[in-house]
Structure 1
Amino acid sequence: MEKRWVLFWVGIFLQGLTASSQVLISGRIIDAVRLTPLAWVHVTHHSSRLITQSLENGQFTLSLPSSSSNDTLLFSLVGYRERRLPVQELLRTRSSTIITLEEQSTILKSVHIRQSKLKERTFGIRKRSPLIHFTDGMFKATDSVEIGQAIMLGQDQSPITSLQLYVTESRKDSASFRIRFYRIKQNQPTDLLWESSVFRRGPIQEGWLRFDLQSANLTLNGTFLAVLELIPEPGSAALKPLSYEIKLGGRSKSFYRKKNSDPWHTPPHHYCLSVTALVNPSLQETEVPETIPVFSLFSKAVADTFHLFVRLPPSYPRSPKRSYPVIYLLDANAYFDQVSELSSSSIPESILVGIGYKDAYLMDSLRIRDYTYPAAPASDSLMLSGGAERFYTFLTTELIPEIDRRYRSIPTNRTLMGHSFGGYFTLYALHKESLGTFVFRNFIAASPSLTYADGYLPQVFRLSSPSTNHFVFLTLGETEGSSATFKDFSEILHKHSTLQIQSKIYPRLDHMGTVLPSFQEGLQLIEK
């Protein structure tokens, strides 16, 4: 059952160790030259995906299946060379196991700072609404996660003075962080530019959590990624996660990963994370502007006004006689800008129409009203729900005719895509097509809320018989904890011979992490 967006979604991932017996690996990790303990070293056993981190004194402990004696462990820490050691070797010396890691030097280019009067300015996500708060719920207190926000400075080397993250809830527990900066190339984080561990002891107060970096003598320029790693401590399972704010919508670049050996992922939101730097006074504090709706449309069916975002393909103004497929995107207040960039590279020759509300706060409240059917039971505490039939009428009899009137569209080539409850409505619309209509050709349902209303949709599809040929892309995150329901529903759809079904479970991704990968891959499959 999907909770309110103000909390977002917490992916639940419980992986049990089922071996009949276990072996315990422990030791101490130190710097090979200084012989000082190394904290937060990742110790990874790839076969079982088990991972731990060393403590501040360099100590680590990892319990492995007894069958792992022929495997190896990977020791990794940014700034040091990775080291692999056989489990058998570690078992032989378990009483006095010392692992040394060699520092990996990076030669930096010489920098020149212009001798002019500099002014301290803030870059990144620095503005937030005092009335609307959205909190990231993607991670648990036990996750070692890195969150990063793209920062755009000028070409001059500028001293970095601080890094800030907005915390939405005070916490009395201590916390540990690591700050990193990465270069961004081709829209992906690449080279590590700088890192430092910061350990905060004492209460964390609601508001801007500030890390002073003046003593680091760090200078950066151009576009880079400012990263804050949230490091779990002993006893983290009993702590509540650090509650920090996120921003919906906009074209800023944000990234996250759950450990530094993972690839970077793009979240469907942005982190309220910024840096201050001493820059030339002519360099202004700017944020990437959000796309504004092209027009609004009052729906008689829903008795409410919707705000529509539109991106035309690059060739549209140059090809006045050409018509284009149309992609209809739900939850446009949150996803339009990012999907607009995805579609430019994935399927550029289409019209993208985002269906949104006045603002993200109303989207959070009204999406459940419009995307669900039937009405939720009182026990679910959803005040507004069950309006999918009215919303479907709005789409088919009010919005689509308006889009066809305004733009050169191909009526037989429409795609509908949504995530979570939006994915639920996407499948609801697919069900409506089985009743004899043909409105959409393609359906992309990312992490649909299949358990809503006691599994209403799976039950409906068991009894329906789609009579037209549609393409359906159905996805789930591996850590969502509902794979059995997803696989069962996929099998139900595969039994309908008229449907072209492709389903995918994304490894290591949670509920919110599937949004952009699902939309991108779904559009690429449609292109093929």
Structure 2
Amino acid sequence: MRSILIITLSLIVNIPLVAQDKQVSIANTESFEIQSKEVDDKYNISVSFPFGYNQSAKEYAVLYVLDANVTFAMVRDIQLLASFEPENASLLVVGVGYENFNSWMSKRSRDYISNGKGEASKFLAFIENELIPEIDQRYRTNSQRIIYGHSSAALFGLFALFNSTSFEGFIVTSPSVDEDEEFTFRLEEASKSKQLKGRVYASFGTKEKQLFKSKYQEFVEQLKSRNHQQLKIMSEEFDGSHMTTMAPAFLNGLLFVTKEQF
């Protein structure tokens, strides 16, 4: 009896180990790799199709998602569920990721945080000159685009706002404006004479670092004070931390930037 019990327990204990070897795929998605000459690196691109994509000839707006190694599935699910309701936009979702989790951890700062060193410019050139044309060639897209980033990736979203005309919507949740030597503040100051266009949604959590909260509020007020006539800005505060506010903030941002335009 004891030997049977030991064998049974051994089988039970080993079940999770077997399950970990199985790969899980997300329905209605595909992925491909793209080698960037601008950055001299390879990116993994994930694509989620809106419902009915294969049954129509419709062209879709595109939501570009940064930090895709850890955000693509969340963003894809939230956007897809929201699109069940006809008043919400159906989008092609494109995640920009790296080879694996370790690559993501080591390379995101290179691409997202500029600090005036020019790396964000290379990543933006990759997005505009290589990735967007590839997506437009492969899929049925229109000219409307949104970019989403959280934390350091949100800094790149702001970098794109000040240096690109490729996007109409910017979802920048908890942008780390306290960690880039105030380079984002200087970008905003330099762009005050431009006529910025689009819809910008920004957010922060009540439990974030005090330095971040004060810098965030200072930055948003500075941006609003320019009175860009074609730039709509929404800022929200959520009860939560840097990470726990991420999902609800993204949803609100998605609804704000797609309102009446997508």
Instruction: Say which SS state the counterpart of residue 245 (structure 2) adopts.
Output: helix
Give the match for residue 441 of structure 1. Answer: 168
Structure 1 residue 483 corresponds to structure 2 residue 213: yes
Instruction: Say which SS state the counterpart of residue 170 (structure 2) adopts.
Output: strand
Give the match for residue 393 of structure 1. Answer: 125
Instruction: Say which SS state the counterpart of residue 452 (structure 1) adopts.
Output: coil
Structure 1 residue 298 corresponds to structure 2 residue 35: yes
Matches of 2:114 and 2:63 in 1, distance apart? 23
**One-letter identity of the residue aligned with 1:521:** N
Give the match for residue 115 of structure 2. Answer: 374
**One-letter identity of the residue aligned with 1:373:** S
Instruction: Say which SS state the counterpart of residue 162 (structure 2) adopts.
Output: helix
- Deviation (angstroms), 1:122: 6.9
Residue segments in structure 2 that go unaligned for 5+ positions in a row: 1-7, 84-88
Give the match for residue 12 of structure 1. Answer: none
Q: Is the 8 A contact 2:30 2:48 kept in 1?
A: no
Change (3 A) 1:456 1:345: same
Map 1:329-478 → 2, pairs under 5 A: 329-347=65-83, 349-374=90-115, 386-411=118-143, 413-433=144-164, 438-465=165-192, 466-478=194-206
Change (3 A) 1:462 1:338: same
**One-letter identity of the residue aligned with 2:198:** H
Matches of 1:510 and 1:403 in 2, distance apart? 34
Map 1:203-222 → 2, pairs under 5 A: none
Kindly provide the CA deviation profile for residues 99-154 of structure 1, in whole angstroms up to 9, marking residues without a partner as x: xxxxxxxxxxxxxxxxxx9963678xx56xxxxxxxxxxxxxxxxxxxxxxxxxxx
Instruction: Say which SS state the counterpart of residue 156 (structure 2) adopts.
Output: helix
Change (3 A) 1:306 1:293: farther
**One-letter identity of the residue aligned with 2:177:** L
Map 1:226-237 → 2, pairs under 5 A: none
Matches of 1:122 and 1:448 in 2, distance apart? 43
Matches of 2:255 and 2:14 in 1, distance apart? 38
Instruction: Say which SS state the counterpart of residue 251 (structure 2) adopts.
Output: helix
Matches of 2:235 and 2:130 in 1, distance apart? 31
- Deviation (angstroms), 1:469: 2.2
Bigger share in strand:
1
Kindly provide the CA deviation profile for residues 239-298 of structure 1, in whole angstroms up to 9, marking residues without a partner as x: xxxxxxxxxxxxxxxxxxxxxxxxxxxxxxxxxxxxxxxxxxxxx947771558611011
Q: Is the 8 A contact 1:290 1:337 kept in 2?
A: no
Give the match for residue 289 of structure 1. Answer: 24
- Deviation (angstroms), 1:459: 2.5
Matches of 1:459 and 1:285 in 2, distance apart? 50
- Deviation (angstroms), 1:353: 0.1
Kindly provide the CA deviation profile for residues 348-374 of structure 1, in whole angstroms up to 9, marking residues without a partner as x: 611000000111110000010111113
- Deviation (angstroms), 1:514: 2.4
Q: Is the 8 A contact 2:33 2:42 kept in 1?
A: yes
Identify which of 215, 221, 237 aligns with 1:505: 237
Runs of 4+ that moved beyond 6 A: none
Bigger share in helix:
2
Matches of 1:373 and 1:120 in 2, distance apart? 50
Matches of 1:326 and 1:386 in 2, distance apart? 26
Identify which of 232, 245, 249 aligns with 1:514: 245
Change (3 A) 1:527 1:431: closer
Instruction: Say which SS state the counterpart of residue 309 (structure 1) adopts.
Output: strand
What is the alpha-carbon root mean square deviation over aligned residues? 2.3
- Deviation (angstroms), 1:308: 0.2
Matches of 2:184 and 2:131 in 1, distance apart? 24
Give the match for residue 64 of structure 2. Answer: 328
Kindly provide the CA deviation profile for residues 15-44 of structure 1, in whole angstroms up to 9, marking residues without a partner as x: xxxxxxxxxxxxxxxxxxxxxxxxxxxxxx
Higher relative CO (Cα under 8 Å, sequence separation at least 6) belongs to 2
The TM-score, its normalising length taken from structure 2, stands at: 0.84
Instruction: Say which SS state the counterpart of residue 47 (structure 2) adopts.
Output: strand
Matches of 1:452 and 1:516 in 2, distance apart? 22
Change (3 A) 1:524 1:399: same
Q: Is the 8 A contact 1:370 1:386 kept in 2?
A: no
Instruction: Say which SS state the counterpart of residue 39 (structure 2) adopts.
Output: coil
Q: Is the 8 A contact 1:315 1:349 kept in 2?
A: no
Instruction: Say which SS state the counterpart of residue 510 (structure 1) adopts.
Output: coil
Change (3 A) 1:452 1:327: same
The structure that has the greater radius of gyration is: 1
Kindly provide the CA deviation profile for residues 400-455 of structure 1, in whole angstroms up to 9, marking residues without a partner as x: 000000011111x100010111000000000103xxxx200000011111023321
Change (3 A) 1:477 1:288: farther
